[in-house]
Amino acid sequence: MVMYDTAGAMDDRLLRELTADEALRRLAGVPLGRVVFTRHALPAIRPVNHVVADGQIVIRSSTGTILSAELAAHEAVVAYEADELDAKERTGWSVVVTGVARLVEDAEEKARFQEALQPWAAGQMDQVIRIRPEIVSGFELVLAAAVGPGSRAVPG
């Protein structure tokens, strides 16, 4: 576990790096995130709901939307970010996953994901898109008192 000193923030807070497994567990525990992709050679971000299944992030989209055109059609490299932050307490975590987005083509698997992932927005969300993690990173801002023995602080 790597600890970072958040100098200039609050003396009683530390930034703790999450393991990849811990980061994916955190991601699985929240329903909403942001997919980051390239559109017209520029970064674009869309909030979407998701599930984590078999270590992969699964989202849904409608045919003909930006997500459908930019992600699924091209097997694009994307980033996916989710977090849970408490602005009052100044604690929380953030996870970023980078990987390739692909359409789920298998009818049985697609039906299983459509059942597990109900869209928040109205409309026909007929496409299922899977993001297979290649790089997983995450950090947690914690109270220094909550950090156990064996952790080491790394200067920021």
**Residue 3 clears pLDDT 90, i.e. is over it:** no
Identify whether 6 is part of a domain.
yes
**Residue 151 clears pLDDT 70, i.e. is over it:** no
CB 58 within 8 A of CB 51: yes
CA atoms of 105 and 28, how far apart (whole Å): 23
Number of domains in the chain: 1
In this prediction, residues 79-95 reach a mean pLDDT of: 94
In this prediction, residues 10-18 reach a mean pLDDT of: 82
Give whole-number Cα distances, 33 to 26, 44, 52, 54, 142, in Å: 12, 14, 11, 18, 21
pLDDT of residue 8: 47
Where is pLDDT greater, at 9 or 123?
123
Identify whether 119 is part of a domain.
yes
pLDDT of residue 155: 35
Give the mean pLDDT of the chain.
82
Identify whether 154 is part of a domain.
no
pTM confidence score: 0.81
CB 129 within 8 A of CB 60: yes
Paired tokens of 147: 């950090």
CATH number for the domain spanning 126: value is: 2.30.110.10
In this prediction, residues 46-70 reach a mean pLDDT of: 84
Identify whether 155 is part of a domain.
no
Domain housing 86: 2-147
pLDDT over 90, % of the chain:
46
Where is pLDDT greater, at 95 or 63?
95
Identify whether 127 is part of a domain.
yes
**Residue 146 clears pLDDT 50, i.e. is over it:** yes
In this prediction, residues 132-156 reach a mean pLDDT of: 72
Identify whether 55 is part of a domain.
yes
Q: Residues 9-19, buried b or exposed e (16+ Cβ, 10 A)?
A: eeeebbbbebe
Identify whether 111 is part of a domain.
yes
Identify whether 153 is part of a domain.
no
